[in-house]
Structure 1
Amino acid sequence: MDPCTGKSRRKIIPFVAHFILSFVHLVKAFLHHTVHLSCHFPNSQKIDVNNLVIFWQKDTIKVVHEVYYGQEKHENLSPEYINRTKVDTGKWTLQLLNAGVEDEGLYQCIIMQKITERSTEVIHKSESNYSQPEIAELHSGELKPNGYLNLSCSSGGGYPEPKEMTWLISYENITHSSTAHMDISQDAVTKLYNVTSKLNIPVPEKSHTNISCLLHLREQLGSLVSVPLAIGESPFSPMDHIWLTNCQIDCAEFKCKDHETWTNIRSIPGGFHNIW
């Protein structure tokens, strides 16, 4: 109330406008490696870092790293991120060291000054290589013509959970495939997966039979194939042996004569074959 005029006065409250610009992108990294979480901040005005507040947060509740007007602050950090981050303010990138499965999630980078706030969201997903699938014989003694062949195929130490496992049975230029049940277990500490599939079939009547298993991975990571198990006296012809050797050296294509189907094969380190 104005004591002179008797009219009420409007109270003027100063405010600071905030403009939020969000960008979302997906980042993948191998387990126990460094993840690079970047901010989309062109900084066309060449604003000095000493005039900005920058912080990264996970799932909007955990503070991963904070730079307050050029100085790193640690008192607000979530305990699991202490001494695990490094920041490059020149590239607006945060390094998260020794990334684990528990670090998967949505990360948000926020850069603030008086009139502008810029936000970048990053989704982090972990990956870890599976071991080459390995076939083991579960039956004991010598195989008999009317007996059964009991096999298992195992692979482990990988992430994320694989899609499926397929058995391949080849003889006389014919290949049969079968998708079998896959037992999956996850290590409570490392969060890595181990998988096993079993095959129980009559002993093949055809000689020169080869049995392989194929582990199909997710996230467009391809597949891993085991070393073939040979049933019979002469499992490989000379041409078969040459083909396997070439697959370990360079890219090749092979043709299933019965199905007229072409399959691409790419070698990966350690003699594993990546099939897509």
Structure 2
Amino acid sequence: MKSLRSCGELLTASSSWFLAPCFCIPRECHGAHVSGLWELRWMGVCDSTMGLKSILFVMALLLSVSTFPFLGAAAAIKTYFNETAYLPCQFINSQNISLDELVVFWQNQEKLVVYELYQGKEKFDNVDPKYKNRNISFDEENWTLRLHNVEIKDQGDYQCFIHHKGPKGLVPSHKMFPPTKLLVIANFSQPEIMEGSNSSSKSYRNLTCSSIQGYPQPEEMYFLLTTENSTIKYSTTMQKSQDNITELYNVSISWSYSGFHDTTNRSIICVLCVSEMCLFSKPYDIVPPKTHPPPKDDILWITALSLVIVGVTVFFLVRWKRKKKQPDLSRECQESGESVLVFSADCRFAASSPSTAFWSPLASTQGTQTETIKVEEALTL
């Protein structure tokens, strides 16, 4: 196999740089990719008289970096905003040294002293001013620094140092490496979909989805429109604002939806993705309008009114037909030429023949009884 490097060249493997010696893979290791040594073949290790021990040494170095990344990188600790962060010192007090003989302090990535315990007592002379008024305490049992009410600006690397105070002064006895990386996160509120105040049109609605008080900055925010047969993603520009004090984010997106004329049920969901987690809003359901029957009370009123109108109409029709069939008595008497008495509106009788003078005094003396008889006879005819 042809060499890909010269002797002593700086190699890179698993994101770590080191100066590798010049050696080659023995003949029996040419099939190393089968047994897991393929990285050595890829590196072009060759042209050397070194044996299998050197190969195993390099392989162990590669495995240590890839399997135990904390050996070359800071261990990360995630803490929620406004809660307590526990920063370990990773010190094993095998000799059971008293705190009265030790000086323990933590530094941040800017080399600023966060906390100092000088011979068992807190000391603030070397502590940076921005940490002096913070709620910070030391756990003696676990050798851990407790940083209370964590803020976004507390993110970064922290290192613990321990010096032993002896007759000759302070002697460094422990330096934590790698440092602890503190990550601060804040959960966003559940996204909420609301209609805009200017959504007066029936054909479309201005929808806004918002979420507040979160960290870190969201990666994506979008709408999901779900119908009976499909789900469609609508991505819009995300509006972001960050508080100058807390450094928390407020985010929102807007969308003008114009499918309200559809006749099928639909649902809209807002999705907010931060890191490897996504938050979902409550569904915004869109139900097509339906024609509802009138209330039962209205039906009863309409039915009653209809019956009254029909009854009154029938009543007047019957009366009109009866009146049309009733004969005109005075006209019939005149046509027949008979001598009958006809009463007028003022109840006075007049004779229709020469014998009227004879009946007139009698009619006047008999009064109302005679009139009644004549009326009944006329009605009978």
TM-score above 0.5, yes or no: yes
Tell me the distance in 2 between the aligned counterparts of 1:211 and 1:124.
37
Letter in 1 for 2:123: K
Q: 1:167 aligns with which of 215, 223, 229?
A: 223
Residues 36 and 94 in structure 1, CA contact (< 8 A), matched pair in contact too: yes
Greater CA radius of gyration, 1 or 2? 2
- Give a deviation string over 1:72-107, Cα, whole Å, max 9, x none: 211111112114210012211011121111111111
Is 2:281 the counterpart of 1:226?
Answer: yes
Q: 1:143 aligns with which of 193, 202, 205?
A: 202
Residues 100 and 120 in structure 2, CA contact (< 8 A), matched pair in contact too: yes
TM alignment of 1:1-276, pairs within 5 A: 24-83=74-133, 84-113=135-164, 114=171, 116-120=173-177, 121-138=179-196, 139-144=198-203, 148-204=204-260, 205-218=262-275, 220=276, 222-233=277-288
Give the 3-state SS of the residue equivalent to 2:188 in structure 1: coil
| TM-score normalized by the length of structure 1 | 0.70
Letter in 1 for 2:184: S
> How many Å apart are 1:201 and its aligned residue?
3.6
Query: Where is the helix percentage greater, Structure 1 or Structure 2?
Result: 2
Tell me the distance in 2 between the aligned counterparts of 1:30 and 1:177.
31
Give the 3-state SS of the residue equivalent to 1:116 in structure 2: strand
Closer/same/farther in 2, CA of residues 161 and 203 from structure 1, 3 Å limit: same
Closer/same/farther in 2, CA of residues 98 and 38 from structure 1, 3 Å limit: same
Give the 3-state SS of the residue equivalent to 2:224 in structure 1: strand
Give the 3-state SS of the residue equivalent to 1:141 in structure 2: coil
Residues 143 and 203 in structure 1, CA contact (< 8 A), matched pair in contact too: no
Give the 3-state SS of the residue equivalent to 2:153 in structure 1: helix
Tell me the distance in 2 between the aligned counterparts of 1:112 and 1:179.
56
Q: Where do 5+ consecutive residues of structure 2 fail to align?
A: 1-70, 165-170, 290-381
Tell me the distance in 2 between the aligned counterparts of 1:71 and 1:137.
59
Q: After superposing the two structures, state which structure 1 stretch, 160-169 or 44-53, moved more.
A: 44-53
Give the 3-state SS of the residue equivalent to 1:143 in structure 2: coil
Closer/same/farther in 2, CA of residues 65 and 201 from structure 1, 3 Å limit: same
> How many Å apart are 1:200 and its aligned residue?
2.3
Letter in 1 for 2:269: S
- Give a deviation string over 1:54-82, Cα, whole Å, max 9, x none: 10011242111111222221111111211
Choose between structure 1 and 2 for higher RCO, CA contacts under 8 A separated by at least 6 residues: 1
Q: Where do 5+ consecutive residues of structure 1 fail to align?
A: 1-20, 235-276
Structure 1 residue runs of 4 or more that deviate by more than 6 Å after TM superposition: none
Residues 169 and 212 in structure 1, CA contact (< 8 A), matched pair in contact too: yes
Tell me the distance in 2 between the aligned counterparts of 1:118 and 1:76.
18
Tell me the distance in 2 between the aligned counterparts of 1:22 and 1:231.
54
Letter in 2 for 1:73: K
